[in-house]
Structure 1
Amino acid sequence: MDVGKVEEVGWEHLVKMGEDLTFLSFRVMDTKGRVHILEITLDETYPRCPPSVSAHVDKLQNFWSTLDDIDRSFWVTDPKHSHYAMSYRQIKLGNDCSIILSINANDPLSLPECRFLGSDTTVNFLRDTWKRNCKRWAKDKSFPENLARVFDTQLPQPPHVQKNEEQVECGICYAQYLPIDDELGAKSGSATDYTCENGNCNRAFHCVCLGDWLRSITTTRQSFDVLFGNCPYCSDPIAVKISTKT
């Protein structure tokens, strides 16, 4: 990919680029305001057959929305933090048992493949319940509603307690520390310093990264040295103070 094509996409969206320009990763935002890192490897068919990033993003909207619905509604134990690149969710069922659900990215509201973890007695009971009631699954229902229909009960919700384990990687640049750079001033090499206040999100960010991202969003408002917008992951309101580079 030549430099001109990168300029068309926008240098501010470029995360990484290989020396031979055949590998690139971009930060993109979907229609729900969620941020994703897309990696592109160009083969010999380029530029005759250029990759269609927007087509892939549009195709996965329902899949990502289903993951959001699961993360908001249930006690997800793995992955520990919301991650759109992973198509599975491990959900706590109670009695030291869990279910691992594999969500179909192409048909996210279809009946998922599943695996149960726990004691043999409880797992056998849950597996029998699943086999008996899976015919109740309806693709016109939400994922949480379907799970409640299959198990004949509401599953445990996310715990409303402060997590002891803090997320340290920035949800935008995916690094724990900012690079050592004179242009960053006092922020050079600093760790994440902002956490979303939504208890079901708790994504951590560098204020520098979050500020840059908010500036790229047309709906962001600014009052003096504070930017007002929405979290890239849960869409809850956030306010970030713009730091001076000293």
Structure 2
Amino acid sequence: MANPRAMPHASMYRVVYAEIEEVGWEHLLYLEKDLSSLCFRVLDEKERRHDLLIELPQNYPEGLPSITADVPYLFYLNWMANSRLKDVVQQFKEHLQKLQAFWSTLESIDKSLVIINPKRPSLASSYRQICLGDGCSLLLCINARNPATLPECRFLGPEVATGIILKQWKRNGRKWSNDRPFIENLSLLLETKLHGPPKDCGVEDNQIECGICYAQYLPLGQLPCEATCNEEGRKSFSFDGEPLLAGEVLIEHSVSSSVSRDLGFIVGFCSIVSWSCLTEQ
């Protein structure tokens, strides 16, 4: 067990308090009593909230602080002998400015398309799994440094259907333009109009969820067990502590010919909601 950090000298408290004053106490979320770390709230130009965690070494301000934030990648902290906390915050703001196009691109995707995963994306998340219909989905990885470029992708779903879409993607790959809106580029390469979010399609959230797709979000060892059908004939599952039926459903799903295993996930076509899903093994 690591030894607890010794309480700093009074002079360090004076230094840190003075530097917090420069940033503004109203932006401080918390400060550890031993001054080992503190956290500032920072808003970017679109009013997105970012929590900047700064860890201070015991020899601060001579020692270099370390930073943590919910961003796709961190920046190199330029620290000199006369640097202060306000310099850390300023460099972080400059980094956020570089990421505006990245977040705007993801927000346009979330607003315009049917997103299967992630359900609650963080600001650090750079991937989206998009429903294409007919049991197919597209897993996109957006370049955070240059979001307008052609993204890395993977097609999920029945082999025949995804094979056709993949050929279209490769055939049209050269048509991608960094000056064209991201969604428009996707539609051009896929040669189809992409689906809008569920509210535009008249499909409620509880109509597209199922035990196969969402079992990964339950506590370890627990599975939904009760299957019901709504008016549209779609199946949904509820949890009551006895994972018998869902266990059978998941076992049947995991051994079917429509799934494959990759990096600890079961990847395959979900017969309940008619698109591909990722489920942890």
Report the TM-score, using the length of structure 2 for normalisation.
Answer: 0.53
Q: Which amino acid aligns with 1:133?
A: N
* Deviation string, structure 1 residues 43-71 (Cα, Å, up to 9, x no partner): 63356255311111111111111111111
CA contact (8 A) 1:88 1:102 kept: yes
Is 1:79 aligned with 2:118? yes
Is 1:5 aligned with 2:19? yes
**Aligned residue among 61, 64, 68 for 1:45:** 64
**Aligned residue among 7, 18, 30 for 2:44:** 30
Structure 1 gaps, min length 5: 166-246
What secondary structure is seen at the aligned counterpart in 1 of 2:137? strand
Deviation at 1:35, TM superposition (A): 1.9
CA contact (8 A) 1:76 1:92 kept: yes
The residue number in structure 1 matching 2:155 is 116
Q: Supply the distance in 2 between the matched residues of 1:162 and 1:4 (Cα, whole angstroms).
A: 52
Q: Supply the distance in 2 between the matched residues of 1:16 and 1:97 (Cα, whole angstroms).
A: 45
Using the aligned pairs only, state the percent identity: 45
Q: Larger deviation: 120-129 or 45-54?
A: 45-54
Q: Supply the distance in 2 between the matched residues of 1:102 and 1:164 (Cα, whole angstroms).
A: 27
**Aligned residue among 138, 157, 162 for 2:196:** 157
What secondary structure is seen at the aligned counterpart in 1 of 2:54? strand
Q: Larger deviation: 133-142 or 39-48?
A: 39-48
Structure 2 gaps, min length 5: 1-14, 58-62, 66-78, 208-281
Deviation at 1:18, TM superposition (A): 4.4
Q: Supply the distance in 1 between the matched residues of 2:100 and 2:135 (Cα, whole angstroms).
A: 33
Is 1:141 aligned with 2:180? yes
Report the TM-score, using the length of structure 1 for normalisation.
Answer: 0.60
* Deviation string, structure 1 residues 161-189 (Cα, Å, up to 9, x no partner): 44349xxxxxxxxxxxxxxxxxxxxxxxx
Q: Aligned in 2, Cα 1:57/1:20: closer, same or farther, shift over 3 Å?
A: farther
Aligned residues: 165
Q: Supply the distance in 1 between the matched residues of 2:163 and 2:151 (Cα, whole angstroms).
A: 18
CA contact (8 A) 2:198 2:205 kept: no
Q: Which amino acid aligns with 1:26?
A: F
Structure 2 matches for 1:158-237, cutoff 5 A?
158-160=197-199, 161-164=203-206
**Aligned residue among 88, 100, 106 for 1:61:** 100
CA contact (8 A) 1:101 1:112 kept: yes
User: What is the CA RMSD across the aligned residues, in angstroms?
Assistant: 2.3
Q: Supply the distance in 2 between the matched residues of 1:15 and 1:154 (Cα, whole angstroms).
A: 44
Q: Aligned in 2, Cα 1:143/1:2: closer, same or farther, shift over 3 Å?
A: same
Deviation at 1:97, TM superposition (A): 1.2
Q: Aligned in 2, Cα 1:29/1:118: closer, same or farther, shift over 3 Å?
A: same
Q: Larger deviation: 32-41 or 61-70?
A: 32-41
CA contact (8 A) 2:42 2:49 kept: yes
**Aligned residue among 119, 130, 136 for 2:169:** 130
Deviation at 1:129, TM superposition (A): 1.4
What secondary structure is seen at the aligned counterpart in 2 of 1:2? helix
Deviation at 1:6, TM superposition (A): 2.3
Q: Which amino acid aligns with 1:163?
A: D
What secondary structure is seen at the aligned counterpart in 1 of 2:177? coil
Q: Supply the distance in 2 between the matched residues of 1:101 and 1:29 (Cα, whole angstroms).
A: 27
Which structure is larger by alpha-carbon Rg, 1 or 2? 2
